[in-house]
């Protein structure tokens, strides 16, 4: 998978590790990198060998330290809107992925980096990680879904404070707010912690995992009745072979063998 310039892809025991690899730029997201992420996640959707994804950044300093400011500085109203919509579209691919996606946040997650982490289903940070949406310092606002996802994750009051001040917060504060699920003590523990959690998740019924994603996202989908989405998804689960296998395994006191069918 060496056809990309700005990201590295490695598959390990069914887990795709997607690394943003621009360490000289603190792994900042430029348009080309966002497009490579789009291509990679389209592959995740289609490749049955990939059971889950970890998104991380290259090096010890930054997950993604923001967007490429030189590109942003050239935007006007018309292409600025398109710039935002394009990023939102790519990050929606991550958020709506039917396979589990974890962010392994190994350092600064600022601006677009924080937005990328929030698009993932679960976030695990190293203790040196820092989070923030400092866009107002540039005269703009978060444009890749940050105003929506931060508010969903930490509540309106704290989200308004963080976005209006542009302040950075520590990994521990992010955990206490619900922005991060867990904090790994050291960077060496970060990827193994993510891998252990993903292996735990992908041992479960994959169709059910995908429906959990759809139902949880329905909470924030305007016009969608999340309870009805849940009932419909529950019914769909009941017709699967995985449902038959899972219930049979429970009754027979054995480990289920799910096939995603």
DSSP 58-76: SSSSEEE--B-HHHHTT--
Average pLDDT over residues 137-149: 96
Catalytic position from the list 35, 115, 173, 224: 115
Residue 211 to residue 158: CA distance in whole angstroms: 30
Say what the pTM is: 0.95
Residue 211 to residue 162: CA distance in whole angstroms: 32
Residue 131 to residue 170: CA distance in whole angstroms: 6
Structure tokens at 83: 């710039």
Answer for the pair 213, 44: CB distance below 8 angstroms, yes or no: no
Catalytic position from the list 71, 135, 224, 241: 135
| Annotated catalytic residue 245 | no
**257, 210, 211, 258: which is closest to 235 by C-alpha?**
211
Average pLDDT over residues 210-238: 94
The band of 64, judged by pLDDT with boundaries at 50, 70 and 90, is very high
pLDDT score for 88: 97
Structure tokens at 218: 């329905």
Give yes or no for residue 135 having a pLDDT over 80.
yes
Supply φ then ψ for residue 16, to 5 degrees.
Answer: -90, 120
Bridge partners (DSSP) listed for residue 130? 108, 170
**Chain-wide mean pLDDT for the chain?**
95
Residue 119 to residue 226: CA distance in whole angstroms: 19
Give yes or no for residue 205 having a pLDDT over 80.
yes
Structure tokens at 28: 């900042």
Give yes or no for residue 250 having a pLDDT over 90.
yes
Give yes or no for residue 192 having a pLDDT over 80.
yes
| Annotated catalytic residue 3 | no
Considering just the CA atoms, what is the radius of gyration of the chain in Å?
19
DSSP 235: H
pLDDT score for 3: 82
Q: Hey, what's the torsion of the CAs at 22, 23, 29, 33, to 10 degrees?
A: 20
Answer for the pair 202, 14: CB distance below 8 angstroms, yes or no: yes
pLDDT score for 252: 95
The band of 68, judged by pLDDT with boundaries at 50, 70 and 90, is confident
The band of 2, judged by pLDDT with boundaries at 50, 70 and 90, is low
CA distances, 230 to each of 166, 199, 222, 238 (Å): 37, 25, 15, 12
pLDDT > 90 fraction of the chain, expressed in percent and rounded:
92
In a 3-state reduction of DSSP, which class is residue 100?
coil
Exposure b/e, 159-193, CB count within 10 A at least 16 = b: beebbeeeebbbbeebbebebbeebbeebeebbeb
pLDDT score for 91: 98
């Amino acid at each position: 998978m060496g056809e990309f310039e700005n990201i590295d892809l490695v598959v390990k025991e069914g887990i795709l590790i997607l690394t943003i690899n621009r360490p000289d730029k603190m792994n900042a997201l430029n348009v080309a990198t966002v497009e490579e992420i789009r291509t990679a996640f389209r592959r995740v959707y289609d490749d049955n060998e990939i059971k889950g994804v970890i998104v991380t950044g290259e090096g010890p300093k930054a997950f993604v330290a923001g967007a490429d400011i030189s590109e942003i500085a050239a935007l006007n109203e018309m292409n600025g809107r398109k710039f935002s919509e394009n990023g939102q579209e790519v990050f929606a691919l991550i958020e709506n992925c039917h396979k589990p996606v974890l962010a392994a946040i190994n350092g600064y997650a600022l601006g677009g980096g924080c937005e990328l982490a929030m698009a993932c289903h679960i976030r695990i940070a190293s203790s040196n990680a820092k989070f923030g949406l400092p866009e107002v310092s540039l005269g703009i606002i978060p444009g890749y879904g940050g105003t929506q996802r931060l508010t969903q994750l930490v509540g309106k009051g704290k989200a308004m404070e963080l976005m209006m001040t542009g302040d950075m917060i520590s990994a521990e504060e992010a955990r206490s707010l619900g922005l991060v699920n867990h904090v790994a003590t050291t960077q060496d523990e970060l990827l193994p912690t993510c891998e252990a959690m993903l292996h735990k998740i992908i041992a479960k019924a994959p169709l059910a995992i995908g429906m959990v994603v759809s139902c949880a996202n329905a909470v924030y989908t305007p016009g969608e009745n999340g309870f009805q989405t849940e009932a419909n998804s529950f019914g769909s689960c009941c017709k699967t072979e995985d449902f038959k296998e899972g219930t049979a395994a429970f009754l027979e006191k054995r480990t289920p063998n799910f096939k995603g069918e």
